[in-house]
Amino acid sequence: MNSSPIPIKIFCVCGQKYAFEVHPDNGRMPVPVACPVCKRDGTDEANRIITKILNGKTQPLPPPSVNALLNSVQASLAPHLVDALKNAVVQELAAQRRDLLAAQQAASAELTVLIQRLESVQTPLLERLRAYESRIGELEKELADQSKENRELLKLKIDLLKEQVETERAAGRIKFNTFN
């Protein structure tokens, strides 16, 4: 198959940049390349770039920014359709913000419950920290095999817990210092 050549740009460790185009042979460099200045071999790096570009071509494109999308369709659409599309985009963004807000509220509500539970039994600082750390550990385990939406919520929860740990650690230090 005769495809278009792949542009390769290599930043050699000596500081030299060099660029060329290549028709890969089975997804690899057909010939070795080397830095024009220090002669260091650049074939591995070139192969890495070829693989990345070839894989990238078979993967879906990243979603274009809303503005780029609007600009690209604006020219080809009737004005009332452009308005309808803008409305749809605005509503979609509002829905995403609502989801994020709900996730933040859920995360901080869970943390508040945990803090209250620990405070109600006057758990010593060290044990509170341990409780937070173990919850962080659980969440991180969950995070490893979750879908995208859940991941955002889990990350939020972990961040909040880590902040709480920092806050309590700092508070513990201050108390400790005043008793010294």
Question: Where along the sequence are the contacts to Zn ion (CB under 5 A)?
Answer: 12, 14, 16, 35, 37-38, 40
Nearer to Zn ion, 40 or 175 (CB): 40
Going by C-alpha positions, the residue among 39, 38, 52 that lies closest to residue 9 is 52
Query: What is the Cα 138 distance to its own chain's centre?
Result: 21
d(CA 172, CA 177): 9
Q: What are the contacts of 23-31 at 24+ separation with CB within 8 A?
A: 24/50, 24/54, 27/51, 27/54
Nearer to Zn ion, 20 or 176 (CB): 20
CB 50 within 8 A of CB 6: yes
Looking at residue 114, its amino acid is L
Query: Smallest distance, Å, CB 48 to Zn ion?
Result: 16
Three-state DSSP class for residue 30: coil
Query: Smallest distance, Å, CB 32 to Zn ion?
Result: 14
Nearer to Zn ion, 19 or 121 (CB): 19
Nearer to Zn ion, 35 or 111 (CB): 35
Query: Smallest distance, Å, CB 49 to Zn ion?
Result: 16
Query: Smallest distance, Å, CB 34 to Zn ion?
Result: 8
Query: Smallest distance, Å, CB 45 to Zn ion?
Result: 11
**Phi and psi at residue 8, to the nearest 5°:** -120, 130
